[in-house]
Amino acid sequence: MTVKTPRRSLLLAGAALAGGALVLSGCSASDGGGGESDTSTLTVWLDANRAEALGDVISDFEEENDVTVDVVQKDFPAIAGDFTQQAPTGKGPDVVIAPHDALGQLVTNGIVEPITLENPDDFQEVAIQAVSYEGQVYGVPVSIENVALIRNTDLDPNAHATFDELVSAGQALVGQNGVEYPVIIQAGDNNLGDPYHLYPIQTSFGAPVFGTDAEGAYNPEDLQMDNEGGKAFAAKLAEWGASGVLNPSLTGDIAIESFVGGKSPYMITGPWNLERIKEAGFGYSIEAIPSAGGQPSQPFVGVQGFFVSSYSENALLANKFVVDYMGSEEVQTAIFESGGRAPALKTAFEAAQSDPDAAAFGEVGANGAPQPSIPAMSVVWEDWGVTEGAIIDGSAGDPAAAWAAMAEGIRGKIAAG
């Protein structure tokens, strides 16, 4: 209103333009703001893979509810972090897809809202456990992923009962047909170990990260890594490091490159590398990772789920989208078909069994352990990887002592919060 300095009719043109701009800026500003005036636009953050898989479902949703869904494509690993930062500013999305292990952090920051599933039993138990935190269900799980052993059946037609047998079979093959490594387990960059890929072996020694309470929730005060089994695992790491079974230079890229190049009969990896392996053209079999320490080997199971922002102004629409649509068999199957990861909904999972690869990964995952989503878990990764790397390359000295020191350090950090 302060602009009213009328000077002849010349100003009329300016005023008209200004009015036009006002309208225009009004439109554009309300798009991103998600303010009260704009309740028919739902902002959803998806990764490229799922954005593609959900295209049809989203247009159905738009039509049936007469709303607009604004899909923002994001890099999957960046979603949880960006969401944490943006939600409190009011500019965040209404719905996000995120890995379940970020859930603890999202709840601690108060940015996701519990949701109500009419029948949680329709989903795989491990999936519901994964999207629950402190007794509340926060998301609709869509897909499950885990690692398994992939065997190049052209190089070794026989399955093995124990990891030691597998290693010696692999060692016997080294030198023939271009085989260079008895087994491939990827490592992190710069001599870091890769605790995620080594976890099934660690659990086969009876040394999970955390103990669980009666309801199956992880207890951050009960770190179990350094029990007797853990020490035996550490000694084994040192032994395998010295004999070249574990190679800290095999980063993720080099590992899959070597495996598809036929340089090893076995690799521990997940469904994300399946396409590459199929392209390589050799026969393969997906099976449980043989136990190294006598107990069952349990890989981490990662679950991806849809979560509703507690800052969403469209809570009702967001809930409808997440619960009614993302939990439907159609969506779960569509996502499975685009990513090859097993669906979390039981009926869709059954249907996915017709795909032998998905069935095989699913079977291994059914015996897995959900990757902990408690915030204390984030303290664990770094020290865990560094210590495994140092034990494998021999720079850690006594493996049992290094392992125990690591566990002590982690306990201290968890206690310090």
Which of positions 135-194 make contact with other proteins (CB under 8 A)? 135-136, 189-192
CB-wise, 40 or 177, nearer to other proteins? 40
319: contact with other proteins by CB under 8 A: yes
CB-wise, 313 or 357, nearer to other proteins? 313
From residue 219 to residue 258, what is the string marking binding to other proteins with x (rule CB under 8 A)? ----------------------------xxx-x--x----
405: contact with other proteins by CB under 8 A: yes
Question: Which of these ranges, 132-140, 170-178, 281-289, 338-346, lies near other proteins under the rule CB under 8 A?
Answer: 132-140
10: contact with other proteins by CB under 8 A: yes
Cα radius of gyration (the chain) = 25
> Token pair for residue 311?
């800052």
Strand partners, 412: none
How far, CA to CA in Å, does 127 sit from each of 150, 325, 366? Answer: 23, 17, 10
- Rounded to whole angstroms, how far apart are CA atoms 388 and 379? 15
- Rounded to whole angstroms, how far apart are CA atoms 122 and 19? 55
Cβ 79 to other proteins shortest distance, Å: 14
Find the largest Cα–Cα distance for the chain: 96
- Rounded to whole angstroms, how far apart are CA atoms 406 and 413? 11
3-state secondary structure of 67: coil
CB-wise, 120 or 206, nearer to other proteins? 120
**323, 345, 369, 400: residue in contact with other proteins (rule CB under 8 A):** 323
Handedness of CA 251, 256, 258, 259 (dihedral sign): positive
Cβ 211 to other proteins shortest distance, Å: 21
Residues 55-84 that bind other proteins (CB under 8 A): 65-67, 81, 84
Q: How many residues does the chain have?
A: 417
Residues 98-127 that bind other proteins (CB under 8 A): 105, 107-111, 113-116, 118
Q: How many binding residues for other proteins (CB under 8 A)? A: 80
> Token pair for residue 365?
């995952």
Strand pairing class (68-73; 41-46): parallel
**320, 329, 366, 367: residue in contact with other proteins (rule CB under 8 A):** 320
- Rounded to whole angstroms, how far apart are CA atoms 327 and 381? 31
Residues 15-34 that bind other proteins (CB under 8 A): 15, 17-22, 25-26, 29
Cβ–Cβ < 8 Å for 69, 61: yes
316: contact with other proteins by CB under 8 A: yes
CB-wise, 161 or 215, nearer to other proteins? 215
214: contact with other proteins by CB under 8 A: no
Nearest to 200 by CA among 301, 126, 299: 299
**229, 230, 327, 375: residue in contact with other proteins (rule CB under 8 A):** 375
Q: What's the one-letter identity of residue 251?
A: T
> Token pair for residue 335?
């996502």
CB-wise, 56 or 134, nearer to other proteins? 134
